[in-house]
């Protein structure tokens, strides 16, 4: 099963996954404020489900480099069904101000996108973090590749931005070295946090660390890893263990521990005002990557 999942991920990253051929990207409404906000439909791994997405763009016709923001998730089916459309407005605005078109797709099994939940980690003690991460990565890759077909989007130089489980999927993408992705930004990446709704309790943390090692073993995409000091899902200590394990065999990881964010640092990436905390650090880290030599892939 894991071999099949890995093949599916590779196909998605190469832009040749079969389900994507049956789906088309397209605008679903007019542009609005802020930042030309527009609802879109983009491909997903489920042939019967297109992902709802929000697109933000700078003024002009482009072509613009693309930033894709991958949202968090939950193992609770009811909470997933009730999840509002993710937008990450402050984070999206931060990238739009730097010339990026920003796509925020809602993956299958969430909110109004609906469909099958494809990234289930199964139980707690024997959580399948590898399979869950690769399934998330496939959804991110298909959405990215669908948007790349638009004439106002650059075909390369993309940034993948992931939060929590979305960040975990971004790390899985890094392990497959996706073509045209310049850097991955991971906000508190992980799975299994708040086990049984208990802060600072993570399902099978050693399995999470082992999966991070597996993703990092083949990764050459630069990764910027950000976590707030008061993150009760994936603490800075655990996050540093994950980052150190990931980069042991992979490429450079720029790990940055940020100051406390309100009462819960895990929501830094998706909250208004979060850019006051991560903005300067992210700007400095991205400039270091962008001014350095591009990784061959």
pLDDT in tens, 257-281: 999 999 999 999 999 999 999 999 9
Per-residue confidence (pLDDT) for residue 293, from 0 to 100: 57
Per-residue confidence (pLDDT) for residue 2, from 0 to 100: 47
pTM of the complete model: 0.91
Whether residue 296 is predicted with pLDDT greater than 90 in this model: the reply is no
Q: SS in 3 state form for the chain?
A: CHHHHHHHHHHHHCCCCHHHHCCCCEECCCCECCCCEEEEEECCCCCCCCEEEEEECCCCCCCECEEEEECCCCCCHHHHHCCCCCCCHHHHHHHHCCCCEEEEECCCCEHHHECCCCCCCCCCCCCCHHHHHHHHHHHHHHHHHHHHCCCCECCCCEEEEEECHHHHHHHHHHHCCCCCEEEEEEECCCCCCCHHHCCCCCCCHHHHHHHHHHHHHCCCCCEEEEEECCCCCCCHHHHHHHHHHHCCCCCCEEEEEECCCCCCHHHCCCCCCCHHHHHHHHHHHHHHHHCCCCCCC
Summarize pLDDT for 173-188 with one digit per residue, the tens. 999 999 999 999 999 9
Whether residue 7 is predicted with pLDDT greater than 70 in this model: the reply is no
Per-residue confidence (pLDDT) for residue 294, from 0 to 100: 52
Whether residue 48 is predicted with pLDDT greater than 50 in this model: the reply is yes
Per-residue confidence (pLDDT) for residue 205, from 0 to 100: 97
Distance CA 66, CA 96 (A): 10
Whether residue 197 is predicted with pLDDT greater than 80 in this model: the reply is yes
Distance CA 111, CA 175 (A): 28
247 confidence band (pLDDT: 50, 70, 90): very high
Per-residue confidence (pLDDT) for residue 4, from 0 to 100: 43
Distance CA 229, CA 262 (A): 11
**For all residues of the chain together, what is the average pLDDT?**
91
Whether residue 62 is predicted with pLDDT greater than 90 in this model: the reply is yes
Distance CA 37, CA 159 (A): 19
Whether residue 19 is predicted with pLDDT greater than 90 in this model: the reply is no
Closest CA to 139 of 229, 12, 238: 12
Distance CA 39, CA 155 (A): 21
């Amino acid at each position: 099963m894991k071999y099949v999942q890995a093949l599916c991920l590779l196909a998605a990253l190469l832009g040749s996954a079969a389900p994507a051929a049956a789906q088309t990207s397209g605008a679903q409404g007019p542009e609005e404020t802020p930042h030309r906000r527009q609802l879109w439909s983009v491909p997903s791994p489920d042939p019967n489900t297109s992902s709802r997405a929000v697109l933000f763009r700078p003024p002009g016709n482009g072509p613009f480099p693309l930033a894709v923001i991958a949202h968090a998730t939950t193992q609770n089916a009811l909470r997933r069904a009730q999840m509002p459309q993710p937008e990450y407005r402050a984070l999206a605005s931060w990238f739009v101000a730097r010339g990026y078109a920003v796509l925020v797709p809602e993956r299958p099994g969430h909110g109004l996108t609906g469909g099958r939940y494809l990234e289930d980690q199964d139980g707690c003690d024997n959580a399948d973090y590898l399979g869950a991460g690769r399934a998330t990565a496939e959804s991110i890759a298909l959405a990215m590749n669908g948007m790349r077909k638009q004439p106002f989007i650059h075909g390369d130089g993309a940034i993948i931005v992931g939060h929590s489980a979305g960040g975990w999927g971004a790390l899985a993408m890094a392990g497959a070295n996706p073509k045209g992705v310049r850097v991955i930004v991971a906000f508190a990446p992980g799975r299994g946090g708040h086990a049984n709704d208990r802060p600072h309790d993570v399902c099978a943390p050693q399995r999470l660390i082992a999966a991070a090692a597996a993703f990092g073993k083949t990764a050459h995409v630069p990764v910027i890893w950000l976590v707030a000091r008061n993150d009760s899902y994936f603490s800075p200590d655990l996050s540093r263990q994950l980052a150190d394990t990931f980069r042991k065999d992979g490429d450079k990881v720029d790990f940055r521990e940020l100051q406390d964010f309100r009462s819960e640092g895990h929501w830094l990436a998706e909250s208004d005002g979060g850019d006051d905390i991560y903005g300067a650090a992210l700007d400095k880290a991205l400039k270091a990557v962008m001014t350095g030599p591009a990784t061959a892939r």
